[in-house]
Amino acid sequence: MDYIITFMETYGYAAMFIAMVLENANIPIPSEIVLGFAGYLVAQGVFDMNMTIIVGTVAGIVGSVLSYWMGEYGGRPLLLKYGKYIFFNEHKFELAEKLFNKWGGTAVFVGRLLPGVRTFISFPAGMARYPMWHFIIWTVLGTIPWTILLVYLGKVLGDRWQDLIQYNHELLIAMVVVFAIIALVFGIKYYRKRR
């Protein structure tokens, strides 16, 4: 974790961009560290909030597309062969694969909001040759709220930004509850329109 913080302190937005690309391209670098620390730097006046969100979101999309291409052109054998070099977590990958196989594009959106799973969700989409533009749309829709939330929480927590790492399961539950409420509201509106 310290090397990521030092990297970002030294190289700023460029380091944040690289770390987030890698995190979204199957290398398990916790986004809670990268984005949480970026939020802390916003609170310190080092980073700008809007620029941080833009860099984090663009990096997330770039990394996801790289992961998609790896899945499309290399498939599972690529990850199994070289995964040991990137601290590959087969359990989380299998979870992402099952999620995608069951839910398709919706899984890309939901997977972007799940710690651990978000690192690998793009790979099975590429393996399945899921349409690229649909994939990008779902990725953007999932990446934006995750990036905003973690940067904002890092800013609000300030010196205690590392609490994001400790409480990432509670964060996950909060995200699920928020999106369940949003889905319920849209479901009710859709049902009323249909009637």
How long is the chain? Answer: 195
pTM listed for this prediction: 0.76
Structure confidence at residue 175 as a pLDDT band (50, 70, 90)? low
Residue 102's pLDDT band (boundaries 50, 70, 90)? confident
* pLDDT above 90 for 97: no
Give me the pLDDT at residue 174, please. Answer: 64
Percent of the chain with pLDDT over 90: 27
> For residues 158 and 42, is the Cβ–Cβ distance under 8 A?
no
Asked whether the predicted pLDDT for residue 135 surpasses 60, the reply is yes
In this structure, are residues 146 and 118 in contact, taking their beta carbons and an 8 Å threshold?
yes
Name the pLDDT band for 169 (thresholds 50, 70, 90).
low
Distance CA 47, CA 154 (A): 12
| pLDDT for 106 | 80
Give per-residue pLDDT as tens, 6-55.
Answer: 888 889 999 999 999 998 887 878 888 899 999 999 999 999 999 999 99
**What is the phi-psi region of residue 113: left when phi exceeds 0, alpha when psi lies from -120 to 50, beta otherwise?**
alpha
Report pLDDT digits (tens) over 104-129.
778 788 777 777 777 778 888 888 88
User: To the nearest whole number, what is the mean pLDDT of the chain?
Assistant: 81
Per-residue pLDDT averaged across 72-81, rounded?
Answer: 73
What DSSP string describes the chain? Answer: -HHHHHHHHHHHHHHHHHHHHHHHTT----HHHHHHHHHHHHHTTSS-HHHHHHHHHHHHHHHHHHHHHHHHHTHHHHHHHHGGGGT--HHHHHHHHHHHHHHTHHHHHHHTTSTTGGGTTHHHHHHTT--HHHHHHHHHHHHHHHHHHHHHHHHHHGGGTTHHHHTHHHHHHHHHHHHHHHHHHHHHHHHHHH-
How far is CA 113 from its chain centroid? 6
Supply the pLDDT for residue 85. 60
Q: What is the pLDDT of residue 183?
A: 64
> What is the Cα–Cα distance from 125 to 131, expressed in whole angstroms?
9
Lowest model confidence (mean pLDDT) among 13-17, 140-144, 158-162: 158-162
Quick check: 118 and 31 in contact, CB under 8 A? yes
